[in-house]
Amino acid sequence: MKKLLNRWYRLLHNEELKRRIYIIIFESDTPMGKLFDVALMACIVLSIGVVVAESIEGVSHVAGPYLRVLEYVFTIFFTAEYVLRLYCSPNPRRYALSFFGLVDLLATLPFYITWLFGPARYLLIIRTFRLIRVFRVFKLFNFLDEGHLLLYSLYISSRKIAVFFLFVLILVISIGTLMYMVEGPQPGTAVTNIPNSIYWAIVTLTTVGYGDITPETPFGRFLSAVVMLLGYTIIAVPTGIVSASMIQSYKKEREEAGQEPGSRTGQAAKTPHDERRWTLLESEYLIRRPWLTARRDKVQLPTGVVMDEYYVLEYPDWVNVLAITDEGKFVLVRQYRHALGETRYELCAGVCEKEETPLVAAQRELLEETGYAGGEWQHWMTLSANASTMNNLTHCFLARGVKRTTSQHLEATEDLTVHLFTPDEVKRLLAQDEVRQALMAAPLWKYFSAENA
């Protein structure tokens, strides 16, 4: 039993195996990754076909047993996929609570509910739950880069759409009330109350026009005509809002990548700092991994010289925090850096997640790595680790008056300790090269220079 537990423990902490599975499941640049994506997409489409076929009485009567066997196979496959995603994910909890993590769970849950509770009195409810399997189709968005663009466009347009919805709500209530005032007194009218008239306003304004409620008076018909014409105008508004946001997001992505819209070639838009900007002629990605993305560019210098091979490493933006307690002590961490083979003191640092501002990322990293939070925060400086070959920036923040509010919440791959130092002790660490990382040393030296300490 002990040997079995030891093997299980080693399996759970086998980082190399996790990395290999992660590349296959979450990435699609390798042959195995592409094969997995194709197999997953085929299973999703076929499983939806099984659900649809089960709902057809004639097909279900003839092929019912075969369809149920296929459903068992698909359920086992999707369950294994969900477990493997949790196993290899750098942050299983974040994946499990994400949109696609919940969709992956709901894709398999109804089968197990049926299996646990049986068909008896819960049969009808369980059949309703089984329809949730159709939502596997949402996982197809995992294979579409444009899916993220659409969701992000809806997100940034949400306030405008909410204001528009409130305006439409007020409009249908007002028009419905007006129609009740006009049609309500007429004998035989279907507009017998304000809720009915609001319902009429909604179906008319949205150009559905069921015809179950029609006005009897000339003014009522005139009002209907106005509402119908108004409906065509209103329907175009949310479409325009989302379309404009999508175009804006698309241009922003291209500008951040240094590209013209729709291409990775050509001269990008100029900025105040690009008077000697190179022209990007061609570009191709050599490797795309969770922690390493490299591309090879063909560029032309302003002098006319063409470089056929120029290599760029792509990373998300980083953050670090110069955190100081109320007692004036600096919060540093100490951890091993494998590339140098050294253990050194550093500032708390981390990666900006997607759609996360640098400030939010810095506050999250400080809390997770050290347990410190609060205080007064300000942007301190922005640095580049290597402007020649790396495309990301490091956003440094100064946080004064932080306090210990909780314990560390480290990921499985993190191994660091928290230390408090006085200003003199930090300066001594800097002088002795104990703070080796330049991105950490620069904010500290700037602090002591600004404070004349």
Q: Are residues 367 and 405 in the same domain?
A: yes
Say if residues 246 and 149 touch (Cβ distance below 8 Å). yes
Q: Are residues 122 and 217 in the same domain?
A: no
Q: Are residues 357 and 445 in the same domain?
A: yes
pLDDT tens digits, one per residue of 29-61: 667 877 887 888 888 788 878 877 877 878 878
pLDDT tens digits, one per residue of 433-447: 899 899 999 999 999
User: Pseudo-torsion of CA 310, 311, 315, 318, nearest 10°?
Assistant: -70
Q: Positive or negative, the Cα torsion across 66, 69, 75, 81? A: negative
Q: Which residues contact 225 (CB under 8 A, 6 or more apart)?
A: none
Q: Are residues 340 and 442 in the same domain?
A: yes
Q: Are residues 324 and 303 in the same domain?
A: no
Helix (H) or strand (E) holding 380: strand 376-383
pLDDT tens digits, one per residue of 251-298: 665 555 444 433 333 344 444 555 678 888 888 888 888 778 899 999
User: Whole-angstrom Cα distance, residue 284 to residue 110?
Assistant: 44
Looking at residue 197, which CATH number applies to its domain?
1.10.287.70
Among 291, 314, 337, identify where a domain stops.
Answer: 314
pLDDT of residue 148: 61
At how many degrees (to 10) do helices 109-117 and 123-130 cross?
A: 170
pLDDT tens digits, one per residue of 373-429: 999 999 999 999 999 999 999 999 999 999 999 888 888 888 899 999 999 999 999
Among 118, 143, 168, identify where a domain stops.
Answer: 143
Looking at residue 94, which CATH number applies to its domain?
1.20.120.350
| 105: its two tokens | 């769970």
Average pLDDT, the chain: 80
- Strand, coil or helix: 71: helix
Q: Are residues 291 and 218 in the same domain?
A: no
Q: Are residues 286 and 374 in the same domain?
A: no
- Strand, coil or helix: 307: strand
- Domain-embedded: residue 264: no
Residue 77 has phi, psi (to 5 degrees) of: -65, -50
User: Whole-angstrom Cα distance, residue 244 to residue 252?
Assistant: 12
- Strand, coil or helix: 145: helix
Q: Are residues 39 and 105 in the same domain?
A: yes
- The pLDDT confidence band at residue 124, using thresholds 50, 70 and 90, is very low
Q: Are residues 290 and 218 in the same domain?
A: no
Cα separations in angstroms, 140 against 41, 189, 433: 7, 49, 50
Cα separations in angstroms, 407 against 321, 352, 403, 434, 441: 18, 22, 12, 25, 26
Q: Are residues 127 and 176 in the same domain?
A: no
pLDDT tens digits, one per residue of 60-115: 788 888 888 888 888 888 889 889 988 888 888 888 888 778 877 877 777 777 67
- Domain-embedded: residue 83: yes
Looking at residue 351, which CATH number applies to its domain?
3.90.79.10
* Residue range(s) defining the domain that contains residue 102: 12-143
Read off the pTM: 0.45
Number of domains in the chain: 4
Among 207, 236, 252, identify where a domain stops.
Answer: 252
- Domain-embedded: residue 273: no
